[in-house]
Amino acid sequence: MQLHLVYFSPTHTSRTIGRSIALGCNTDNITETDLTYRPPGQPIVIQADIAIVAVPVYGGRVAETAMERLQWIKGQQTPVIPVVVYGNRDYEDALLELTDHLKNTGFCPLAAAAFIGEHSYSRTDMPIAGGRPDAADQTAAITFGCKAVEKWNAAKQKTVFPEPHIPGNYPYKIKGPKTPAAPVTSSEKCIQCGICSEVCPTEAISGTIPVSDPALCIKCCACVKECPAEARIFNTPYTAMLFEKCSARKEPETWF
Q: Any idea where the domains of the chain sit in the sequence?
A: 3-171+249-255, 184-235
Which percentage of the chain shows pLDDT scores above 70? 98
Task: For residue 95, give the nearest of 61, 137, 69 by alpha carbon.
Answer: 61
Per-residue pLDDT at 156: 74
Res 157 pLDDT > 90: no
Confidence bin at 177 (pLDDT 50/70/90) = confident
Q: Which pTM was predicted?
A: 0.96
Confidence bin at 179 (pLDDT 50/70/90) = confident
Span 184-235: which CATH code?
3.30.70.20
| Helix, strand or coil, per DSSP, at residue 46 | strand
* Dist CA 27 CA 29 (whole Å): 5
Cα separations in angstroms, 13 against 59, 84, 107: 16, 10, 23
pLDDT digits (tens, 9 = 90+) for 41-72: 999 999 999 999 999 999 999 999 999 999 99
Per-residue pLDDT at 159: 58
Q: Which residues of 53-89 are buried (b: 16+ CB within 10 A; e: fewer)?
A: bbbbbbbbbbbebbbebbebbbbeebbbbbbbbbbbb
Mean confidence (pLDDT) of the chain? 96
3-171+249-255, CATH topology level: Rossmann fold (3.40.50)
